[in-house]
Structure 1
Amino acid sequence: MDVPRLAFIGFDASELAFLRESLPADVPVMASEMLPRIRLMDGRLEMESPLRDRLVPISAVVFHGIFEHDLDFLAALVLWGGPCFPAPQAMLDCRLRLPGLVRALAISRFAGPPRGFLSPGVSVAPTTPQVAKWGNWHCGENKERIDSPWTAHEPTLVEPFFAGDAVRVLMLGEQMWQIRLTGTDWRKSVHGPGAAMMPMDAELADDTRTIRDALGLSILANDYMVTPTGERRLLEVNHIPSVTCFPEVWRAYRDVVRDWLMRMVIPTFR
Structure 2
Amino acid sequence: MSTETVGLIGLERAEVNELEPRVACRFAAFEMMPKVQVRDQRLYLARFGAWDWTGPVDKVIFHGIFENDLPGIAALALWGGPCLPSASGLLDCRPRIANLARVRKVSRFAALPRSYTDAGTAFTTEVPSVAKWGEWHCGEGKERFADKWTPSEPSLIEPFLGGEAVRVTAIGDALFQLRLGGDDWKKSIHHSTAAHMPLDESLAGDVCALRDHFDLAVCAADYIVSPDGTPNLLELNHVPNVTQFPEIRAAYLDFTAKWINESPRAQPVRKVPRS
Q: TM-score, normalised by structure 2?
A: 0.89
- The whole-number CA distance in structure 2 between the counterparts of 1:99 and 1:22 is 37
Using the alignment, how far apart are the partners of 2:266 and 2:23 within structure 1?
A: 12
- Deviation string 1:163-189 (CA, Å, 9 cap, x unpaired) is 011000101111101000002211125
- Kindly provide the CA deviation profile for residues 3-35 of structure 1, in whole angstroms up to 9, marking residues without a partner as x: 6522111112212101212223xx222211111
In the alignment, residue 221 of structure 2 is paired with which amino acid?
N
- Shift of residue 194 of structure 1? 2.2
Q: Which amino acid in 2 is paired with 1:13? A: R
How far 1:214 moved relative to its partner? 2.0
What is aligned with 1:124?
123
Distance 1:109 1:144 in 2: 26
In structure 2, what residue type is equivalent to 1:198? M
1:239 Cα deviation after fit: 0.5
Q: Where does the alignment leave 5 or more consecutive residues of structure 2 unmatched?
A: 268-275
Q: Distance in 2 between matches of 1:160 and 1:53?
A: 48
Q: Kindly indicate whether residue 26 of structure 2 is the aligned counterpart of residue 14 of structure 1.
A: no
C-alpha separation between the residues in 2 aligned to 1:106 and 1:189?
Answer: 25
**Partner letter of residue 37 of structure 2?**
R
Q: Which runs of 5+ in 1 are unaligned?
A: none
Alignment pair present for 1:5 and 2:5:
yes
Give structure 1 regions of 4+ aligned residues with deviation exceeding 4 angstroms: 265-268
Counterpart-to-counterpart distance in 1, 2:200 and 2:41: 44
Matches within 5 A, 1:5-154: 5-24=5-24, 27-48=25-46, 54-57=52-55, 58-154=57-153
CA distance in 2 between partners of 1:165 and 1:106 (Å): 24
Contact 2:180–2:189 (CA<8 Å) still a contact in 1? yes
Kept in 2: contact 1:49–1:56 (CA 8 A): no
Q: What secondary structure, in the 3-state scheme, does the structure 2 residue paired with 1:234 have?
A: strand
Q: How many residue pairs end up in the alignment?
A: 263
CA contact (8 A) 2:119 2:154 kept: yes
Determine if contact 2:188/2:194 at 8 Å carries over to the other structure. no
| Amino acid across the alignment from 1:187 | K
Which position in structure 2 is the counterpart of 1:175?
174
Whole-angstrom distance in 1 between the partners of 2:132 and 2:125: 15
Counterpart residue identity of residue 139, structure 1? C
| Corresponding residue of 2:273 | none
Indicate yes or no: 2:246 matched with 1:254: no
1:126 deviates by 2.3
Which stretch of the first structure deviates more once superposed, 117-126 or 153-162? 117-126
Q: How far apart, in 1, do the equivalents of 2:265 and 2:172 lie?
A: 20
- 1:137-185, Cα deviation, whole Å (9 max, x unpaired): 1111111101232212221111110001100010111110100000221
Paired residues of 2:58 and 2:265 also in contact (CA < 8 A):
no
